[in-house]
């Protein structure tokens, strides 16, 4: 999810480079309310938008690398990202 305070890069030279995941993100075309819902509200609509987004993987990587604590990023809620960070979100039977 592109944060509320994130600014878009100018399109100058856009034909010379590949667009960034932020420029391709479907969340940039919808309201932030989907991705930053009030406590107790559903994140289902945000997750559905994320599932169709080309930038979903890069968005999730960004959120994890930058310790984003709020909102839906890369199709995961705050709790889901927290579990992933702590390694409790894995479903595989592999153990160290």
Mean pLDDT split into 10-residue runs, the chain, 96 residues: 49 62 87 85 92 94 94 95 83 44
Give this prediction's pTM. 0.70
HSE value, Cβ hemisphere, 13 Å, CA-based, for 24: 14
Cα(54)–Cα(32) distance, integer angstroms: 18
Q: Is 68 annotated as a binding residue?
A: no
Backbone angles phi, psi at 80, to 5 degrees: -65, -40
pLDDT, residue 74, reads 96
pLDDT, residue 2, reads 61
Q: Is 53 annotated as a binding residue?
A: yes
Q: Is 27 annotated as a binding residue?
A: yes
Question: Any idea where the domains of the chain sit in the sequence?
Answer: 19-86
């Amino acid at each position: 999810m592109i944060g509320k305070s994130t600014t878009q890069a100018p399109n100058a030279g856009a034909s010379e480079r590949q667009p960034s995941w932020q420029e391709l993100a479907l969340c940039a075309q919808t309201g932030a309310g989907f991705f930053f819902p009030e406590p107790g509200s559903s994140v289902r609509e945000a997750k559905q938008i994320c599932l169709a987004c080309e930038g979903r993987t890069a968005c999730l990587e960004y959120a994890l690398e930058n310790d984003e604590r709020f909102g839906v990023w890369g199709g995961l809620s705050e709790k889901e990202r927290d579990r992933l960070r702590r390694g409790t979100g894995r479903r595989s039977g592999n153990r160290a």
